[in-house]
A and B are shown apart, each in its own frame.
Chain A
Amino acid sequence: MDELNKQAQVLTAIMSGFLVIGHLLYSISYPGGANSFFQSKLYIFCSENPIISALSKRIYGKITDSLGYLLPVNEFISAHDIITEFVDPTELYSKAGHLLFVTFHIQVGMGYLGISFLRAEQSRKNALVEIEQELKKANQEIDASKANGTNDNDRKGNDGKNKDYDPSINFRKSAGPFIFFVALPYMVQIVFYGGMNMYAFHCFRDDIHRTIRLNDLFANDGSRFVATATSKVSNLSPESYASNSETVVTTIYDMVNRNLFSLPKLMLIPGIVAKQPMMMLKITPLILLSDWIKSTIVAVITTELERVNKEVKDVSPKRFG
Chain B
Amino acid sequence: MTAFDDAVLSLFPQLTTHLKHLKNDPLSQLFPYDGLIAVSAVTYSRYTVHYSGESKTSRLFWSAVLGYLAYNRYDHWIQVYAHVLSFGTFLYDKACGYYAKKVNTYGKYFMNRIGNYVYSHFNYSLK
Instruction: Give the nearest-CB partner of A204 in chain B.
Output: B31
Alpha-carbon separation in the docked complex, A11 to B89 (Å): 10
Does chain B have a CB within 8 A of A112? yes
B1-9, B80-88, B110-118 - the one binding chain A = B80-88
Alpha-carbon separation in the docked complex, A32 to B100 (Å): 41
Is A202 a contact partner of B41 (Cβ separation < 8 A)?
A: no
Interface residues of A in 28-61 (CB under 8 A from B): 28-29
Contact size class for B? 20 to 34
Chain A residues with CB under 8 Å of B88's CB are 14, 18
Chain A residues with CB under 8 Å of B103's CB are 6
Give B21 Cβ to nearest chain A Cβ, in Å.
11
Secondary structure of the A contact surface, majority rule:
helix
A75-83, A98-106, A295-303 - the one binding chain B = A98-106
Chain A residues with CB under 8 Å of B81's CB are 21-22, 25
Interface residues of B in 76-125 (CB under 8 A from A): 76-77, 79-81, 84-85, 88, 91-92, 95-96, 99-100, 103
Give A96 Cβ to nearest chain B Cβ, in Å.
10
Alpha-carbon separation in the docked complex, A282 to B55 (Å): 38
Alpha-carbon separation in the docked complex, A264 to B48 (Å): 12
| 4 A-B pairs with the lowest CB-CB distances in the bound complex, closest first | A203-B31, A105-B45, A109-B45, A105-B41
Q: List 13 A-B contacts (CB under 8 A).
A: A9-B99, A10-B96, A25-B80, A29-B77, A105-B41, A109-B41, A113-B48, A193-B40, A193-B44, A197-B41, A200-B31, A200-B34, A203-B31
